[in-house]
Structure 1
Amino acid sequence: MIRVQNLCKTVTSGAQELAILRGINLEIKAGESAAIIGVSGAGKSTLLGLLAGLDNASSGAIFLHGQNISVMTEDQRASLRAKHVGFVFQSFQLLPGLTALENVMLPLELSGRTGAAAKAKTFLDKVGLAERGHHYPRQLSGGEQQRVALARAFAVEPDILFADEPTGNLDEQTGQRIIELLFELNSESDTTLVLVTHELPLARRCERQFVMHDGVLSETSHDEDAAPAGHSEQGAL
């Protein structure tokens, strides 16, 4: 489902070239759940964006759903995302001028799906917001906005769902509700799940765990402490 070969990402800062990702190799099978953890600035979100085809790598290859997205144009990657990929952002990324229902409907309509309104209502109901469909993002709490974002991501029935710090802007109780919804919807849809998180309890809900350190990715096990040295399980990674 996801295969990465010797992936590198460098950026230029003044006269210096900074290596963000260094020779990443990764394979995640269909239906698996995987978490990527690490300190801030380690390259986690950069990797997630590359896997989703939202950015270009400096070198290496990414195969998504059997296709090499590294050689695709932006339009080709966008078409692939519309058919196979869902993305949940930490900052929700809801369109303020659209209602909750319209936000969930939008990707369905853009991909030419039929029955967009009915499907959007179904997924809003799944996240407990059936009665809030006509409210705008500004009228919703942070937790409600993230639930709309989850409904939007799952409504397109993606083969792969990427989530970048999905509970990062939420309080603990609301964040726990979002986590339960994320795995509940993931289980129902048999979707491949790849998430970036600072929270070890969330990471340990996934079948596989990877640690990003200084642009290098390594896999750890549930029996190991995935927290980098100097960080406790309760602390931010």
Structure 2
Amino acid sequence: MIEASSINKTVNTSAGSLCILDDINLAVAEGEALAIVGPSGSGKSTLLGILAGLDLPSSGQVKINGEDLTTMDEEGRAAIRARYVGFVFQSFHLLPSLTALENVALPLELRGDRDALVMATEYLQRVGLGERLSHYPRQLSGGEQQRVALARAFASQPKILFADEPTGNLDTATGEAINDLLFQLNAEAGTTLVLVTHEQVLANRCHRRITLQAGCIVDTETAGRVAAG
């Protein structure tokens, strides 16, 4: 589903060239849940962004479902993201002027789904926010906002879901509930999941995890996925 070959990422700084990713080779199978772990500054979020087509590597190749993102312009990559990809971020990225229902429905409406409001309502009910449809983000707790973000991601029925520290801004109890919901929805939809996390418990719930250090993959291991619940 995802193939990354010889990925390198360097940026120019006042001190010279800085290597963020160094010769990353990675394949993620359809339906697999992969955790990317490692210390802060190891390149995790940069790798996630490149795999998702949000950023380009300095060299190397990334393919999603056989289509080479690195040969496309931004319009082409955006079309691939619209076709295959959903996102959940640590900071929620909800539009403050839209209700929960409108935030979830918007991506569906933009791609022309006629039943966008029906789908949005269904997924908000599935994440336990059926009574919060007309609430704005400022009227929701952090955990509720992340539930809206999950509903928005899964309502689009993506083939691949990228999650960057999805519970990083939540307290422990709320984070655990969100994790359960993430894996429950993931299992039901058969989605390929790629997530960045500092939480070993969350990483252990994936099929496999890779560890980055100083931009290199230093370890790969099967995590032995634990059922949601």
TM range (shorter): over 0.9
Ranges in structure 1 where 5+ consecutive residues have no aligned partner: 224-237
Look up the SS of the partner of 1:131 in the other structure. Answer: coil
CA distance in 2, matches of 1:106, 1:121: 12
Task: State the partner residue of 2:55.
Answer: 55
The residue number in structure 2 matching 1:209 is 209
2:213 matched to 1:220?
A: no
Deviations 1:113-158 (A, max 9, x none): 2200000000000100011011100110000000000000000000
2: CA distance, partners of 1:52 / 1:174: 27
Q: What is the CA–CA distance in structure 2 between the aligned matches of 1:174 and 1:131, rounded to whole Å?
A: 18
Q: What is the alpha-carbon distance in structure 2 between the residues aligned to residue 49 and residue 113 of structure 1? A: 26
C-alpha distance in 2 between matches for 1:203 and 1:68: 28
Partners of 2:221 and 2:40 in 1: CA distance: 18
Provide the secondary structure at the position in 2 that maps to 1:129: coil
Cα separation, 1, equivalents of 2:111 and 2:20: 33
Tell me if structure 2 keeps the 8 A contact 1:10–1:21: yes
Which residue of 1 is the match for residue 74 of structure 2?
74
Deviations 1:31-79 (A, max 9, x none): 0000000000000000001111111110000001210001111111111
Corresponding letter in the other structure for 2:133: G
Identity %: 59
> 2 CA distance for matches of 1:15 and 1:202?
36
For 1:166 and 1:65, the matched residues in 2 are separated by 25
Once the 2 structures are TM-superposed, how far is the Cα of residue 221 of structure 1 from its aligned partner?
Answer: 3.5
Matches within 5 A, 1:110-129: 110-129=110-129
Letter paired with 2:54: L
Gaps of 5+ in 2: 225-229
User: In the TM superposition, what are the counterparts of 1:32-181 in structure 2 within 5 Å?
Assistant: 32-181=32-181
Over the aligned positions, Cα root-mean-square deviation in angstroms equals 1.0
1:67-121 CA distance string (max 9 Å, x none): 0001111111111111110000000000111111000011111112220000000
Does the 8 Å CA contact 1:10/1:20 hold for their aligned counterparts? yes
